[in-house]
């Protein structure tokens, strides 16, 4: 078999950094959500881009699939070895290569997690702002074009990756981008690789934009009588040009789950959690103006967290909301939805989704990054119940369709993986064919994470 031949050829290259132990393969065959486990045939632990290149060349010779692996926190089955093959685990390529203080950039290797990166940046006064909640690897975040709570202010991985080193499907090592902040020198290969989910190449180094630690930070929670009122407060705040660093929405069901899990006592109604970054006086001004707007829409029960430990507790709760929601139903697994709509249609999208959930009989709290129009319903199901799974899949499909009908996208930040393939034609039409043409041009044998983003025969 070609996969076996590839593995045999990899042994002399990697020695004990190539594993076929059942526990290793099982660990790489898991996913965070509802997908069945699909382990690879081997796991490789390269130490350098040239080793990654050698691995890919060997796999290319044998037409053996190659799947990149960071922290395994993705939600659409991105790392599952649906056609078998070799998982390339970047745990030995997880360091900061160089911090450029004056340029406010950092070069890192893909396995480093965002929390590790920010720990290592602490003394510089700089930080990397993209924050998907999970302690994902930076390579994985780039590959899924991740974002999270701070995208409304600092953008997504699309906006924060300046340059990449990528091993292509034939083993060539390509450097995209430069150390400059911008360039017009040809096709934007950096942007093409960000969000490609390892289907066009494996990222082996990233140059990231950093931000200065803000002088002033203010965070708050407040309640709203209805979802519409909360969303209107968000859209008004955006329209006023008030630069929010975070603006997160939780519906009443999410708040209940967070209360139970984190021993908190937020009133059980829709909430916004906001944060402002800036100069000390700037933050004060922004916070006051937001308070006025929120009050106009029935916002109440403001709780300002000015001490760092209070803010950390707040965002810790927000980041663990997924686990809180999962814990709210014993033994449940989750289908995590991820639509993103134009802000003008956000209230309608959330409302119709809630109505649909109510009709379904499932429990499915909603939360999201409403400043971007991006929200998630966490569809809780009994993993043994085919009926519930079917109901949840129906809900998920209708959310995607609703998002498209409102001018939105089927995935704001989680990516396509296996879970969103069925909606790609509906979102992109002929554009999906163009993506497939690019895939065929750059990976004609379809060895790079096959079965994700595009569908090729064979």
Whose CA is closest to 381, among 357, 397, 402, 398? 357
Question: Rounded to an integer, what distance in angstroms lies between the CA atom of residue 329 and that of residue 205?
Answer: 40
Using the minimum distance from each CB to a second copy, give the nearer residue, 109 or 420. Answer: 420
**Residues in 236-265 that interact with a second copy by CB under 8 A:** 238-241
Distance CA 331, CA 318 (A): 22
Distance CA 142, CA 110 (A): 9
149 binding a second copy? (CB under 8 A): no
Nearer to a second copy, 190 or 221 (CB): 190
Contact region for a second copy (CB under 8 A) — 5-13, 22-30, 318-326, 420-428?
420-428
User: Could you give the dihedral angle defined by the CA atoms of residues 398, 400, 404 and 407, in that order, rounded to the nearest 10 degrees?
Assistant: 110
x/- binding map, residues 98-137, to a second copy, per CB under 8 A? --xxxxxx--------------------------------
DSSP letters for 41-74: SEEE---SHHHHHHHHHHHHHTT--EEEESSS--
Q: Which of residues 297-336 bind a second copy (CB under 8 A)?
A: none
Which residues have C-beta within 8 Å of that of residue 67, sequence separation ≥ 6? 40, 79, 80, 81, 85, 86, 87, 88, 198, 449
Note whether 453 binds a second copy by CB under 8 A: yes
Window contacting a second copy (CB under 8 A); options: 3-11, 15-23, 291-299, 416-424: 416-424
Beta bridge mates, 120: none
Region of 40-48, 192-200, 220-228, 314-322 interacting with a second copy (CB under 8 A): 192-200
Length of the chain: 458
Q: How far is the CB of 85 from a second copy (least distance, A)?
A: 21
CB of 253 to a second copy, least distance (A): 24
Could you give the 3-state DSSP secondary structure of residue 213?
A: coil
Size of the site for a second copy (CB under 8 A): 95
Q: Is 418 in the site for a second copy (CB under 8 A)?
A: no
Give least dist CB 203 to a second copy, A: 14
Q: What residues between 58 and 97 interact with a second copy by CB under 8 A?
A: none
């Amino acid at each position: 078999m070609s996969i076996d031949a590839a593995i045999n050829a990899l042994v002399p290259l990697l020695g004990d950094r190539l594993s076929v132990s059942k526990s290793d393969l099982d660990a790489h065959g898991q996913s965070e959500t509802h997908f069945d486990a699909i382990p690879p045939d081997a796991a490789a632990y390269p130490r350098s881009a040239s080793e990654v290149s050698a691995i890919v060349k060997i796999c290319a010779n044998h037409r053996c699939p190659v799947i990149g692996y960071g922290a395994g926190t993705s939600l659409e089955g991105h790392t599952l070895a649906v056609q078998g093959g070799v998982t390339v685990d970047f745990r030995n390529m997880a360091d900061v290569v160089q911090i450029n203080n004056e340029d406010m950039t950092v070069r890192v290797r893909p396995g480093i997690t965002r929390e590790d990166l920010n720990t290592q940046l602490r003394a510089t006064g700089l930080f990397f702002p993209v924050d998907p909640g999970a302690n994902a690897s930076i390579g994985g975040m780039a590959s899924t074009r991740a974002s999270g709570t701070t995208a409304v202010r600092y953008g997504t991985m699309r906006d924060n990756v300046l340059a990449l080193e990528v091993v292509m499907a034939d083993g060539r090592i390509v450097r995209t981008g430069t150390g400059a902040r911008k360039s017009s020198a040809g096709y934007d290969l950096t942007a093409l690789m960000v969000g490609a989910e390892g289907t066009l190449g494996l990222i082996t180094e990233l140059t990231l934009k950093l931000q200065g630690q803000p002088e002033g930070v203010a965070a708050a929670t407040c309640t709203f009588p209805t979802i519409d009122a909360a969303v209107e407060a968000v859209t008004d705040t955006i329209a006023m040009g008030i630069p929010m660093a975070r603006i997160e929405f939780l519906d009443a069901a999410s708040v209940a789950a967070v209360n139970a899990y984190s021993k908190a006592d937020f009133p059980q109604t829709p909430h916004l959690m906001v944060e402002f970054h800036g100069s000390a006086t700037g933050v004060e001004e922004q916070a006051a103006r937001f308070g006025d707007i929120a009050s106009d829409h029935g916002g109440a029960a403001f709780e300002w967290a000015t001490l760092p430990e209070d803010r950390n507790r707040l965002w810790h709760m927000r980041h663990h909301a997924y686990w809180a929601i999962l814990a709210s139903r014993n033994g449940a697994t989750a289908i995590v939805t991820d639509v993103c709509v134009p802000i003008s249609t956000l209230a309608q999208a959330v409302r119709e989704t809630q109505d649909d959930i109510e009709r379904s009989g499932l429990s499915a709290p909603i939360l999201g990054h409403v400043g971007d129009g991006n929200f998630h319903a966490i569809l809780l199901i009994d993993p043994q119940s085919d009926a519930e799974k079917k109901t949840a899949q129906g809900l998920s499909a209708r959310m995607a369709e609703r998002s498209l009908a409102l001018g939105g996208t089927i995935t704001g930040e989680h990516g396509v993986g296996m879970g969103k393939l069925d909606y790609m034609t509906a979102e992109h039409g002929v554009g999906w064919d163009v993506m497939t043409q690019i895939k065929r041009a750059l990976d004609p044998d379809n060895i790079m994470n096959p079965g994700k983003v595009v569908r090729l025969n064979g």
